[in-house]
Amino acid sequence: MTNKYKYFVANWKMFGDLKSLNTLNRVLKLKKSIKFDKAKIIYCPPYTLLESFNKKLKSTKIDIGAQNCHPLDEYGPFTGSINSKMVKKLGCKYIILGHSENRFEGETNNLINKKIKVSLNNKLKVLFCIGESLKQKKENITKKVLSKQILEGLKNIKNLNNIILAYEPVWSIGTGIIPKKSDLEENIFFIRKFLKKKLRIKNPVILYGGSVNSKNINELRTINQINGFLIGGASQNSNKFIDIIKKTFI
Ligand code: PGA
């Protein structure tokens, strides 16, 4: 994975229908400008829109990703599930795994580890989410929590080149609250050092996610250690999403 880019990952969660495809036109236009050559834009719509997004974005510089997958590689009797091979076939290059909204539903580090392995085998790049809850932050165990999530999530994975870390404090997702700049710098620095020392990743790519918007981007962009953003709510509106990208490159 290279960190010569700034990543802008649009996590649409359980939002969007075919009409939402129109929002892509303006973003496509922006991406054509040389000024945004270093912006790596990745759309992660719900499964139902992957095929349409792929058709629209196939021969462009914008990539698509899935938001989750089943941990098995084969087809099987798992009602409502989709595996990473299937999303790969739909044109996905990326996959979000370990998102706190799924951890909240019972996803463990061990299960995330299985999903990561199978996704890497299917040649997907993994956007691996980690982050502490408000309770854990208050208990001052953030670093312990992050280390455990990283070690267990990436256990027994030899080639870590296709892993992108996304630091998303749970209390910051969808709340409009972002961490204090000094706390964010400290945690990103900690994650970077941990990935380098413990897992021997040479140039870790680390994103920040949680209430990124077109206002707080002015502050977030000043943190050099952040290689990009995982954006939920603000990514569904092309004006807001474009604003975030433009302001990052001021
Ligand atoms: P948010 O979501 O930007 O709406 O806070 C981010 C995420 O959950 O990835």
pLDDT in tens, 167-213: 999 999 999 999 999 999 999 999 999 999 999 999 999 999 999 99
pTM recorded for the entire structure: 0.97
Distance 120 CA to ligand 1 centre (A): 24
From 230, 240, 241, give the residue whose CB has the most ligand 1 atoms within 8 Å, as the site to mutate: 230
CB 170 less than 6 A from any atom of ligand 1: no
CB 231 less than 6 A from any atom of ligand 1: yes
* pLDDT reported for residue 55: 97
Structure tokens at 231: 């954006």
Give per-residue pLDDT as tens, 5-40: 999 999 999 999 999 999 999 999 999 998 999 999
With a cut of 70, say whether residue 1 has pLDDT above it.
Answer: no
Structure tokens at 244: 């975030």
CB 98 less than 6 A from any atom of ligand 1: no
With a cut of 80, say whether residue 42 has pLDDT above it.
Answer: yes
Tell me which residue has its CA closest to atom 9 in ligand 1: 232
With a cut of 80, say whether residue 220 has pLDDT above it.
Answer: yes
Give per-residue pLDDT as tens, 79-94: 999 999 999 999 999 9
Confidence of residue 226 (pLDDT cuts 50, 70, 90): very high
Confidence of residue 2 (pLDDT cuts 50, 70, 90): low
Share of the chain above pLDDT 70, in %: 99
Q: Which atom of ligand 1 is nearest to the CA of 11?
A: 9
Q: Which atom of ligand 1 is nearest to the CA of 231?
A: 3
Q: Which atom of ligand 1 is nearest to the CA of 172?
A: 5
From 13, 104, 127, give the residue whose CB has the most ligand 1 atoms within 8 Å, as the site to mutate: 13
Give per-residue pLDDT as tens, 115-144: 999 999 999 999 999 999 999 999 999 999
Which residues does 181 contact at the CB level (< 8 Å), separation at least 6?
219, 222, 223
DSSP for 166-235, written as a single string: EE--GGGTTTS----HHHHHHHHHHHHHHHHHHH--SS--EEEESS--TTTHHHHTT-TT--EEEESGGG
Is 168 labeled as catalytic in the residue annotation?
yes
Distance 169 CA to ligand 1 centre (A): 10
Tell me which residue has its CA closest to atom 1 in ligand 1: 232
**Candidate list 51, 107, 168, 186, residue with the active-site label:** 168
Distance 213 CA to ligand 1 centre (A): 10
